[in-house]
Amino acid sequence: MQLLSQFLRRNDTDEQLMDLIATLMVACKEIALKLREGALAGVLGTTDITNVQGETQKKLDVISNEILKTVLLNHSLVAGVASEEESESVPGFKDGRFLVVFDPLDGSSNIDINVSVGTIFSILEAPKDEDFSTEHPYLQNGRKQLAAGYVLYGPSAVLVLTTGKGVNMFTLSHTGDFLLTRENVMIPEETREFAINMSNHRFWEPAMRNYVDDLLLGADGPREKNYNMRWVAAMVAEVHRVLTRGGIFTYPWDARSPKKPGKLRLMYEGNPMSMLIEQAGGLATNCYSDILDVQPDDIHERVSVSLGSRKEVEVLMEYHQRTESTKEA
């Protein structure tokens, strides 16, 4: 089986990008170890800190964020990092070539119940002559990403990576190596599986309600087939399922926070996952247009996310095109 480094070299990956990805994996392996030890390492439970997102941090949110920062900011190629758990971006080496943006631990409500979580990352080119302690150099749209991916900490730890030449999966072995286990992942165009937090049904826009109601009607409704539903409450696990066997995952705008475009974060969650999904032949939209084309104005900007099997996402977009939006401006 091929090592991550062998695979990247065979694919003519830029040497410095390879070096950065290897460094990122050092941090992810450390996070995987903490997660595996769980209660034995005293890392379960919640802190009394509320982060910039207005969410109470789990101990492992803080630990994972510190591990990533320590490892990355010691690497001379890193000009700075931005994290879901940091109120501001953190500068690194002035002449560094890359910016790394991450959600240190996605799905943190799953930690204490021993269910899958993951680290999501996005790598950008550091623009010249910028101040990397300010937001400006990070505010690049998703199409500018040099690489993106996640490590899913599930029954096995799996790195899912794109450098813009397709999507590949690498499983962490007992020797601490990431080995290629799935090459050139492609998402089936059609699906019978959807993922949405149904408890928010009454808060959605009419188009989203109509779409999901028609899925629930199954073979008796306009979609003329029966659907199955899944909800892991960790985007990283939902995207992994979609990449593995198809499906649609959506976390739409809802009226609980009418001023926010959605719950998920554009730069830490939306963009990296959208790059993976597009690279695997799927679609990733905010129900109206491609997430990768959204120009961020704020590093913590939110986005409505609907992604997965191409034909299913196209149907969802048609519902939005033909129903008037009731969303507040």
Ligand X SMILES: O=P(O)(O)OC[C@H]1O[C@](O)(COP(=O)(O)O)[C@@H](O)[C@@H]1O
Q: Which of residues 82-101 bind Mg ion (CB under 5 A)?
A: 84
Q: Which of 21, 106, 254, 262 binds ligand X (CB under 6 A)?
A: 106
β-strand pairing of 178-182 with 167-172: antiparallel
Report the alpha-carbon distance of residue 36 to residue 43 in Å, rounded: 10
- Smaller CB distance to Mg ion: residue 84 or 301? 84
Structure tokens at 140: 């690049």
- Smaller CB distance to ligand X: residue 22 or 115? 115
β-strand pairing of 305-308 with 283-285: antiparallel
Q: Which of 121, 153, 178, 251 binds ligand X (CB under 6 A)?
A: 251
Give the interface size with ligand X as a residue count (CB under 6 A).
Answer: 12
Q: Which of residues 187-246 bind ligand X (CB under 6 A)?
A: 197, 233-235
86 binds, among ligand X, Mg ion, none (CB under 5 to 8 A by kind): none
Is 103 a binding residue for Mg ion by CB under 5 A? The answer is yes
Is 238 a binding residue for Mg ion by CB under 5 A? The answer is no
Report the alpha-carbon distance of residue 203 to residue 200 in Å, rounded: 5
193 binds, among Mg ion, ligand X, none (CB under 5 to 8 A by kind): none
**108 annotated as belonging to a binding site for a ligand:** yes
**89 annotated as belonging to a binding site for a ligand:** no
Report the alpha-carbon distance of residue 200 to residue 327 in Å, rounded: 15
Cα-only R_g, the chain: 19
Nearest Cα to Cα of residue 272 among 117, 161, 154, 138: 161
Is 301 a binding residue for Mg ion by CB under 5 A? The answer is no
214 binds, among ligand X, Mg ion, none (CB under 5 to 8 A by kind): none
Burial class (CB in 10 A: 0-12, 13-18, 19+), 168: buried
Structure tokens at 105: 């631990």
Report the alpha-carbon distance of residue 89 to residue 130 in Å, rounded: 13
Q: Which of residues 158-187 bind ligand X (CB under 6 A)?
A: none
Binding mask 30-59 for ligand X (x = CB under 6 A): -------------------------x----
- Smaller CB distance to ligand X: residue 93 or 231? 231
Q: Kindly report the CA angle at 148 between 119 and 121, in degrees rounded to 5?
A: 30
Structure tokens at 295: 């120009």
| Binding residues vs ligand X (CB under 6 A) | 55, 84, 103, 106-109, 197, 233-235, 251
Binding site for substrate: residue ranges?
A: 106-109, 197, 263
